[in-house]
Every structure is written in C-alpha cells, then in structure tokens.
Structure 1
C-alpha cells in the first residue's frame, strides 16, 4: 500500500475516493482540538468495553475543552450515519483474548481483515489512547497458507479433506495474517478518520490488514468504529 497516496482533507473525499490497485485504506487527516480524555473519565464504565450512546454523551458535564471534543464526536457520528453507516463509540479497557487455539489466536490483537457478505467499508477513529495499526499486504502472509501453521490446523480438523477450507473460514482462521520479519506497520494516529477496505464479493482491492493495539496499563482508548 502506497501510504502517501491515500490522504484526503474532508469527509466527502474520504467516502468517495475509490480504492484502486494497492490502495486499500483512505485517511482523512485531522488535528483535533478538545479534551477527549475528559470524556473517558466522565463516562460510567462497565466491563472491558463500554459503549457510549449519543444521549449519554450529550448529557456528560464537561469543561469547555471537553465540550469541543464532544461536538467533534457528535459531528463524526452524524456524517457517518448520513452516509449509511452505523458508528459505535466505545471506551476500551481491553478486548477479550482468544485462548482457544494457543498457536493461532483469532482476536483483534492479531493482524486480520474484516469480511462482509455485502459491499461495505470499515471506518474507525481513535480519539484517545493507543491507535490501531494497518499493515501493507505486500509485507505479510495469510497464516493459513504458511505450511507449518497449515499442518497444525489440519491436526485440529477431523472432517473430510474437501471441508477443510470451510473449517478455516467458519473459525475465522483465514482472516488472519503474519507480518514479515521486516514489515513496517503503520499507526493510524489520533484524530484521523480512516476508511478501510473489507473482504466482500464486490471488493476490487485486497482487504486492509489491521489490528488493535495493546493498551497501555491504566490508559483506556476512546474509539469510533463501524
């Protein structure tokens, strides 16, 4: 992915610029004002991931800087909903880890792609905390095609040979990638709104490989995603 060719300066261009060739991620670069950490501090958190509804966000007692941050988030939610997306605002302490297959975790901390049966894109923005990363497709390998990993997965599978590929898909193994030793993941940064290509039947480019960051102890994330 030629990262230098995927930056735009407004929402209209973010949603209208086509993915083409190796370009499977578009970024609306922004330097946001306001205190987003205050929103994280004021929200009543529940469990590892807390979803903030718009009504709750509007009702938070915030300082002037917190109010600026709130208006930015509400504007982002508004334009995404008008575009037909269903954005969710989360405060994330951490995601659940996948321990079902020790040599092949399929949680969001692993480099993976999103899949959909219908045409769609993934949008995300980190307002506070550690930001997600994307990985150029040319710097990775699909894990299920690596011989040693494939052999181990076959040991888990007990069906007919012709059902093995379906087994990989049903358990999401085929969505995960291994970074090359010299790979250079790209941080999505704070405040930027990204649009990522998803694996769906009409996708004309390789889906965008990405992962959630490992959160810093004591620092939660404020993330918009849809």
Structure 2
C-alpha cells in the first residue's frame, strides 16, 4: 500500500478493481488509488511499438501482435486485462506512448496545456481513470494547496485586458477558453506523484459531483524515455 501522510488525506487506497470503481468520493476524498506492484517489462512494450508523432495510440490488435519476451508478455497481459476491466465498467480507455504533449503558447502568461495543474470537467457524471506503466508519472495536488488562476488578481487583470468585452460575458469567456480549469500551486505546495502501476480514479467537475474535482498535471518527460499511459 502507498504511504500516505496527513497532507494526502484526500486519497483513499483500495486493493481491487471493484472497490476502485464502487467506492464513492466523499468529504475531502477526491482521488482513489488501486495500489499495485506490477510485474513484467513495460519498457519492452514501449520499445516495440511503432511510434507515430509525439503521442502514439496503441490499439489492442497491435498490442496483441507484438513479439515480446516472457517479461514483455507479462506486461502485455496486464495491459490487456486493464483495458478489459475498464471497458466492462463502461469506460473508454486509451493506451498511449507519449514522448511529449503539445505546449500551449497562445497566451504566454497563461498556458492551458496538461503540464499545468488543472481539473477535468464534464456535463455528465464521469470519472477520470489513469495509470502510468512506464516513464514519468502524473502528479495530483490537494485542493487546499492550489489556487484557481482566474482568481489571482494579476492574472485576472491580464485576462480582462485580453477579453476587451463587457463584464456580463467575462465568466463565459474564461470558461470557453478553459482558463477556469487551471490552478497554480501555492508556495508551500507538495505535489503527489501517482507512481508506476497504480490505477487511479480522479473526481471530475460535473453537475452531480459531491466533492471538489481533483487537481492533476502531466509530468515533464525525460528525454528519450517515453511514457506508457492508460487514460479515460
């Protein structure tokens, strides 16, 4: 099991998939972790995949067709089983090999790419599932350690100048451009790495949610070391 400190009390750990998907978010808990120690060589899977651009989606048929060692086959079996479980739950998992995500340079003072702490939003009840099998893993941040960027006075002033419209449409402008989804870590913040092999379920901002959405971000990848990530 993962060693959780008081600062991580918004995380609940479970030991199986059924508890991962059925345990409700409540109170401060907006991240649930199926803590696992996986076997197999996931780096071999990454090496054998034919890459296409900075993000390569690995289809199930391609995964099955890879010629792998015994350790690579163990890793593949885990990946196929995770895909199967998530699909049976009604999710739409995607397995990606990621060298890097595109950076957002539209507004230099306010990037809205996934390297920034952000929350996911949906018009319907849904959760975000993710697992990093190889490479750098994602981070989450306790909500108390993040500040919504659009509420920071200096940033809000920049956005008002950018908007150049009436007050009545300003909030819609923030939402339509996804500015309101992004957060800045406070000076004493302690981001939490999601680690390798653990399957996570994160709370999303949707109309029926009873908890705050989980703040998370993609890591900065190491050169020459792509990530193997399943997400939905």
Sort the TM-score into its range (normalised by shorter chain): over 0.9
Q: 1:69-100 CA distances to partner (integer Å, 9 max, x unpaired)?
A: 00000000000000000000000000000000
The answer to whether the 8 Å contact 1:2/1:23 transfers is no
SS in 1 for 2:131: strand
Give the structure-2-normalised TM-score.
Answer: 0.96
Structure 1 unpaired stretches of 5+:
none
2:140, 2:193 within 8 Å by CA — same for their partners in 1? yes
The question of whether the paired residues in 1 share the 8 Å contact of 2:40 and 2:73 is answered with yes
Matched ranges for 1:109-124 at <5 A: 109-124=115-130
Partner of 2:3: none
Question: Counterpart of 2:97 in 1: which secondary structure?
Answer: strand
The equivalent position to 1:80 in structure 2, one of 86, 98, 114, is 86
How far apart are the structure 2 equivalents of 1:2 and 1:41? 34
Does the Cα contact within 8 Å between 2:11 and 2:31 map onto a contact in 1? no
Q: In the alignment, which of 189, 200, 209 is matched to residue 206 of structure 2?
A: 200
C-alpha distance in 2, partners of 1:4/1:191?
Answer: 20
Q: How does 1:1-226 map to 2 (within 5 A)?
A: 2-3=8-9, 6-226=12-232
Instruction: List alignment gaps of at least 5 residues for structure 2.
Output: 1-6
Q: Write out per-residue CA displacement over residues 177-199 of structure 1, whole angstroms, 9 at most, x where no aligned residue.
A: 00010000000000000000000
Instruction: Compute the TM-score of the two structures, normalised by the length of structure 1.
Output: 0.99
Q: Secondary structure, in 3 states, of the residue corresponding to 2:78? A: helix
Runs of 4+ in 1 over 4 A off after TM superposition: none
Q: Spell out, residue by residue over 1:162-213, the C-alpha distance to the aligned partner (whole angstroms, 9 max, x if none).
A: 0000000000000000001000000000000000000000010000000000
Cα-to-partner distance string for 1:108-160 (whole Å, 9 max, x where unaligned): 00000000010000000000000000000000100000111100100100222
**RMSD of the TM alignment (CA)?**
0.9
- Between the two proteins, the alignment pairs up a number of residues equal to 226
Q: How far off its partner does 1:5 sit?
A: 5.2
Q: CA deviation at 1:4?
A: 7.5
- On the 8 A contact 1:2/1:22 being kept in 2, the answer is no
Alpha-carbon distance between aligned partners in 2 of 1:199 and 1:5, rounded to the nearest angstrom: 17
Deviation digits for residues 10-45 of structure 1, max 9, x if unmatched?
000000111011110000000000000000000000
